[in-house]
């Protein structure tokens, strides 16, 4: 049995939105729901009833709902949710129009700006009017090269109010990375910042924006707002209009265009480390309903909360974060390095803004631990009640760190889903305990299972993470994908009719979930499947190791495990440290997990959203091309893996 680290009190459980929902379901459907397991079973066995009830529970604003909840209920893909409904995503995020704070915008330069719901609504009205005058209509694409701040939120909401499709990248993307994405979707409008700041350094991107504008023929309007300079010179960007000038109108009302439930809202992108990024199209209704479920039920958010997630506008967690406006709460938007101007910055932010739900990455928590930060000793985190982590598997020792160094009375929710579904398959549960190293639960309405090679469910064993029934936030498809060929290949080729997420996972005795890594990066020495996360959990216990990356190298008609480590500054990998790493892995896993070779590298390559790129390194080691280095935050790191003599013996 796993170690229980946190248990919500009976009073805490009774006060949650999830408990209230359970009592409503019992009253309306004549069932008994004793715990989360019985609630989850109801939610997947009675899909129509469950999602219909959530529509009413959340008070979805719509011109029409219709009687049908799910057409073609067994189709995967092809199921149609609320096929008769007509709504507008932005209207559901802008129902509140008073002086309550909607956005708290901060950055590493120390700037802070409060935006009320009334101010947000007014700015959206003016931008929407300006876009409408420029001919933006339902289905048009509006692209953004934007830092995480108010301009990005305003631009997304104004676009959505008109039925246009919003697609954003963070300003640290290179020209090729931007063109690989926006070049595919042919936007009519580009909204961009003049630059951004990283670790105290201002980075001007106007030349980059100019190159993008010159390369995308579909662009008719280019709007640039100041982030570095109060009045940037836009002469080098053909046809560019300053944000203040573009919004110079008297509009004070947003005219929300009602659209079908499945109308496209967002285009998000796969990391693109093995080829051109996939352009994943998400629906307005599916995104709204799924995010409301995850916010109000799984995170127990209310209008009194202050929600923060450290993210950029190029990661789906930004889209997830912004949906918090539908609950009427306050969002904290932060742009810049999480360690600037010093490693304590985000914890200082949490204290200052009274953050109640703090979201970050597993890598950030590991980095805080390695730096010896103990936020509980330095900051008043009295309002913090939940900490969310994603991006990669949260290591068991990071669970220990959170409860030891951050806060004991806290729901720690390691969550897992992705860009593919703009939401989660497994996440937090405010009525369940937290067990060391486990995600608390499979999401409501999500028929998540772990299966073997024959698609048979397994428990307490490792297998493929799948979803066996439709869910509202399944993508509409990929952009420019005739017959949905690439879409079907991506998610339904492994097990026809079943969504395969590409994660290697395990359902625990406590009915939680452990993610063992990407299944396409699973190691297979001697025919035994090993998840890379199993090795990372052990390696990162070693104090000298900052981070690691593991691959399988084809070797003598088999596969051998190769481990790369990045050590603390000034340290060198020697035989003694290598042996200690091996002993740590062997003692806590199996001899099969012990790497054949351990090599020191100066850097570990990551995507722009912070995920390590095992497949790209594997390609380099095997002399294969990495097709899209522009998808990496630090592409130069790949050179550390080229022509390593130790890999030839």
DSSP 301-329: --TT-EEEE---TTSHHHHHHHGGGGGT-
**What phi and psi values does residue 565 have, to the nearest 5 degrees?**
-130, 140
Specify the pLDDT at position 647: 86
Whole-number Cα distances in Å, 127 to 88, 98, 114, 157, 284: 17, 19, 19, 9, 20
Q: Is residue 257 exposed (0-12), middle (13-18) or buried (19+ Cβ within 10 Å)? A: buried
Classified by CATH at the fold level, domain 1-67+77-442 comes out as: Rossmann fold (3.40.50)
What is the per-residue burial (b if ≥16 Cβ within 10 Å, else e) of 223-253?
Answer: bbbbbbeeebebeebeebbbbeebbeeebee
Question: Looking at residues 97-105, what average pLDDT do you find?
Answer: 98
What is the greatest pairwise CA distance in the chain?
Answer: 72
**Residue 578's pLDDT band (boundaries 50, 70, 90)?**
very high
Give percent of the chain above pLDDT 90. Answer: 81
- Give yes or no for residue 88 having a pLDDT over 80: yes
The token pair that represents 572 in the structure block: 């060198």
Instruction: Say if strands 112-116 and 86-87 run parallel, antiparallel, or are unpaired.
Output: unpaired
Determine contact, residues 265/89, Cβ cutoff 8 Å: yes
d(CA 120, CA 103): 8
- Give yes or no for residue 275 having a pLDDT over 70: no
**What phi and psi values does residue 376 have, to the nearest 5 degrees?**
-60, -30
d(CA 283, CA 264): 4
pLDDT digits (tens, 9 = 90+) for 521-577: 778 787 667 788 889 888 988 999 999 999 998 888 788 999 999 999 999 999 999
**Residue 171's pLDDT band (boundaries 50, 70, 90)?**
very high
Peptide bond into 209 cis (omega under 30): no
Determine contact, residues 102/120, Cβ cutoff 8 Å: yes
Query: Which residues make beta-bridge pairs with 462?
Result: 506
Same CATH fold, 522-648 and 1-67+77-442? no
pLDDT digits (tens, 9 = 90+) for 433-455: 999 999 999 999 999 999 998 99
Q: Is residue 118 exposed (0-12), middle (13-18) or buried (19+ Cβ within 10 Å)? A: middle
pLDDT digits (tens, 9 = 90+) for 209-252: 999 999 999 999 999 999 998 899 999 999 999 999 999 999 99
Determine contact, residues 514/399, Cβ cutoff 8 Å: no
Determine contact, residues 299/511, Cβ cutoff 8 Å: no
Chain centroid to CA 211: how far?
28
Question: Looking at residues 630-636, what average pLDDT do you find?
Answer: 84
Which run of H or of E encompasses 291? helix 284-292
The token pair that represents 252 in the structure block: 């004070």
- Give yes or no for residue 520 having a pLDDT over 80: no
Query: Which residues make beta-bridge pairs with 563?
Result: 550, 598
Which run of H or of E encompasses 166? strand 165-169
Give percent of the chain above pLDDT 70. Answer: 99
Query: Which residues make beta-bridge pairs with 280?
Result: 268, 478
Determine contact, residues 479/281, Cβ cutoff 8 Å: yes
DSSP code string of 359-402:
EEEHHHHHHHHHTT--HHHHS--TT--EEEEESSPPPHHHHHHI
Torsion of CA 154, 158, 159, 163, to 10 degrees: 150
Specify the pLDDT at position 274: 59
d(CA 606, CA 515): 19
Determine contact, residues 569/575, Cβ cutoff 8 Å: no
d(CA 639, CA 635): 8
What is the per-residue burial (b if ≥16 Cβ within 10 Å, else e) of 134-163?
Answer: eebeeebbbbbbbbbbbbbbbbbbbbbbbb
- Give yes or no for residue 607 having a pLDDT over 80: yes
Strands, E assignment, 443-529: 448-451, 462-467, 477-478, 499-507, 513-518
The token pair that represents 199 in the structure block: 């670790």
- Give yes or no for residue 46 having a pLDDT over 90: yes
Looking at the chain, the number of H-run helices and the number of E-run strands are: 20, 34
CATH of domain 522-648: 3.30.300.30
**Residue 630's pLDDT band (boundaries 50, 70, 90)?**
confident
d(CA 190, CA 219): 7
d(CA 616, CA 330): 39
Question: Looking at residues 258-266, what average pLDDT do you find?
Answer: 98
Domain boundaries, the chain: 1-67+77-442, 522-648
Determine contact, residues 581/600, Cβ cutoff 8 Å: no
Determine contact, residues 389/369, Cβ cutoff 8 Å: no
């Amino acid at each position: 049995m796993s170690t229980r680290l946190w248990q919500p009190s009976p009073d805490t459980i009774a006060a949650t939105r999830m408990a209230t929902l359970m009592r409503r379901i019992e009253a309306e459907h004549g069932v008994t729901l004793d715990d989360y397991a019985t609630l989850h079973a109801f939610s997947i066995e009675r899909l129509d009833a469950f999602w219909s009830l959530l529509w009413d529970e959340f008070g979805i604003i719509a011109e029409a709902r219709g009687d049908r909840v799910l057409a073609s209920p067994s189709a995967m893909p092809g199921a149609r949710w609320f096929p008769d409904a007509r709504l507008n995503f932005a209207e559901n995020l802008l129902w509140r129009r008073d002086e309550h704070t909607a956005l708290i915008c901060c950055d590493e330069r120390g700037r802070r700006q409060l935006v009320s719901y009334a101010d947000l609504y007014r700015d959206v009205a003016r931008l929407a009017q300006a876009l409408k005058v420029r001919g933006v209509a339902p289905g048009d694409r509006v692209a953004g090269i934007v830092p995480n701040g108010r301009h990005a939120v305003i631009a997304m909401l104004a676009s959505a109010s008109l039925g246009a499709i919003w697609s954003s990248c963070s300003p640290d993307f290179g020209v090729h990375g931007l063109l690989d994405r926006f070049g595919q979707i042919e936007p009519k409008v580009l909204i961009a910042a003049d630059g951004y700041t990283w670790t105290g350094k201002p980075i001007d991107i106007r030349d980059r924006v100019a190159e993008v504008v010159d390369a995308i023929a579909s662009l008719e309007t280019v709007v640039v707002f100041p982030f570095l300079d109060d009045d940037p010179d836009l002469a080098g960007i053909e046809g560019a209009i300053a944000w203040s000038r573009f919004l110079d109108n008297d509009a004070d009302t947003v005219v929300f265009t009602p659209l079908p439930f499945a109308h496209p809202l967002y285009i998000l992108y796969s990391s693109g480390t093995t080829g051109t990024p996939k352009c994943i199209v998400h629906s307005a209704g599916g995104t709204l309903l799924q995010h409301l479920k995850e916010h109000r039920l799984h995170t127990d958010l209310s209008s009194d909360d202050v929600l923060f997630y450290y993210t950029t506008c190029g990661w789906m967690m930004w889209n997830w974060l912004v949906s918090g406006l539908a609950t009427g709460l306050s969002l904290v938007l932060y742009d810049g390095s999480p360690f600037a101007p010093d490693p304590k910055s985000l914890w200082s932010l949490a204290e200052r803004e009274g953050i109640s739900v703090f979201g970050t990455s597993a890598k950030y928590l590991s980095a805080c631990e390695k730096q010896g930060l103990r936020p509980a000793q330095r900051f008043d985190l009295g309002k913090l009640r939940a900490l969310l982590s994603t991006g990669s598997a949260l290591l068991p020792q990071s669970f220990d760190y959170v409860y030891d160094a951050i806060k004991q009375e806290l729901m720690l929710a390691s969550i897992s889903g992705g860009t593919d579904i703009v939401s989660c398959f497994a996440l937090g549960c405010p009525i369940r305990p937290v067990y060391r190293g486990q995600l608390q639960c499979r999401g409501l309405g999500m028929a998540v299972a772990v299966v073997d090679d024959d698609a048979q469910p397994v428990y307490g064993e490792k297998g493929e993470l799948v979803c066996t029934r439709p869910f509202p936030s399944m993508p509409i498809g990929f952009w420019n994908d005739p017959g949905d060929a690439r879409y079907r290949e991506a998610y339904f080729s492994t097990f026809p009719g079943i969504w395969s997420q590409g994660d290697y996972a395990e359902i625990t005795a406590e009915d939680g979930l452990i993610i063992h890594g990407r299944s396409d990066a699973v190691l297979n020495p001697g025919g035994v499947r090993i998840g890379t996360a199993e090795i990372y959990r052990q390696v990162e216990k070693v104090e000298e190791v900052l981070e690691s990356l593991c691959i399988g190298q084809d070797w003598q008609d088999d596969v051998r495990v190769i481990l790369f480590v990045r050590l603390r500054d000034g340290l060198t990998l020697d035989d003694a440290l290598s042996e200690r790493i091996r002993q740590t892995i062997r003692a806590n896993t199996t001899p099969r997990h012990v790497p054949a070779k351990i090599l020191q590298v100066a850097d570990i390559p990551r995507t722009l959203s912070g995920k390590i790129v095992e497949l790209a390194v594997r390609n380099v080691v095997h002399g294969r091309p990495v097709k899209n280095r522009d998808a990496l935050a630090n592409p130069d790191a790949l050179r550390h893996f080229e022509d390593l003599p130790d890999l030839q013996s």
